[in-house]
Structure 1
């Protein structure tokens, strides 16, 4: 089992038990590079759970991963993990292809328009069926920007800044 103070990165969330032998269904929160298989311990965290769990075995299925932990023996144990965030040590994160980012790399990043006008700060990355969406806190409220090339023109990880090309009405918040 892992421990220590190394920064953890959220890779998914337990959505439900799978079967009766203690397996859980995980929905990924990152784009897994093809062929990547993580076999170490994962950290599970929710309002009722907080600890490291050793992966006994895992497999991919239609829309996520199915994992079995050595510490979980039955469906009741798996049910107790529902809703847990699944994290791994930051040093274990797989490399990503160009122009693909982990949520943790984007959260807190400043957002500006191509003309240099400040927009706000990325508060959340929403993983929706059609595409990811960046929730940006502005001085007037929250706005959502689709995470697609048509709007996102540049991401500077070192400078912690994203440049966008908004269309008319895109930056209007609910408060407007």
Structure 2
């Protein structure tokens, strides 16, 4: 099976004396990626763990990892990045959502299906997600909202933008609304 490596969490401080750890979650699907029985790899490639238990405590995920028996062992792992291998073709449960890895590299088209660029990155900003689109004129940022990106075809590898002048093109468009007159 073809897989991709994704960051799912960073180990925080120890929780209690029996080796439990707090995690800073780095995945949108913690109940899927950090549940009992899942194998995780550490940033040290020779180290891996199996999640033995996971529970939420005051908004923080607390886990027990196989081989971490006490507080000292837990504290020694603080700051360790945890990775999971997920199937490359795996899709989010919601058909209206996409993983960054699905979007990056997709062709970007205008409403008339004219290709204008490629998605080079997905930025997760406080207000909304934004697609960074590499065009012939340079990088353009497009808010990833339905009004501006009404169509994403993951199978075809295409993101289609709404017909919004100037969205990825700096050229001024005279739509006839300019009421100034020349004398």
| TM-score past 0.5 threshold | yes
Q: In the TM superposition, what is the alpha-carbon distance from 1:61 to its structure 2 partner?
A: 5.7
RMSD: 3.2
Specify every segment of 5 or more residues in structure 1 that has no aligned partner in the other structure, as ranges.
Answer: none
What residue number does 1:55 align with?
A: 51
After superposition, the C-alpha distances for 1:25-73 in whole angstroms (9 at most, x for unaligned) are 233333x39x64633102344xxx2253211322346766444422442
What residue number does 1:26 align with?
A: 24
What residue number does 2:181 align with?
A: none
User: Which has the larger displacement, 20-29 or 153-162?
Assistant: 20-29
Higher relative contact order (CA closer than 8 Å, sequence separation 6+): 1
Specify every segment of 5 or more residues in structure 2 that has no aligned partner in the other structure, as ranges.
Answer: 171-183
Q: In the TM superposition, what is the alpha-carbon distance from 1:9 to its structure 2 partner?
A: 4.6
Q: Secondary structure at the match of 2:77?
A: helix
Pair member with larger Rg: 2
What residue number does 2:77 align with?
A: 77
- Spell out the pairing of 1:145-160 with structure 2 (5 A cutoff): 145-160=142-157
Q: Identify which of 112, 117, 125 aligns with 2:114.
A: 117
Q: 1: distance between equivalents of 2:62 and 2:93?
A: 22
Q: In the TM superposition, what is the alpha-carbon distance from 1:22 to its structure 2 partner?
A: 5.7
Identify if the C-alpha distance between structure 1 residues 92 and 108 changes in structure 2 by more than 3 Å, giving closer, same or farther: closer
What residue number does 1:90 align with?
A: 87
Q: 2: distance between equivalents of 1:139 and 1:6?
A: 33
Aligned 8 A contact 1:27 1:63 in 2: no
Normalization by structure 2: what TM-score? Answer: 0.68
Q: In the TM superposition, what is the alpha-carbon distance from 1:122 to its structure 2 partner?
A: 1.3
Q: 2: distance between equivalents of 1:117 and 1:64?
A: 46
Q: In the TM superposition, what is the alpha-carbon distance from 1:165 to its structure 2 partner?
A: 1.7
Q: 2: distance between equivalents of 1:60 and 1:91?
A: 28
Identify if the C-alpha distance between structure 1 residues 109 and 92 changes in structure 2 by more than 3 Å, giving closer, same or farther: closer
Aligned 8 A contact 1:44 1:87 in 2: no
What residue number does 1:12 align with?
A: 8
How many equivalent pairs are there? Answer: 160
Q: 2: distance between equivalents of 1:62 and 1:132?
A: 27
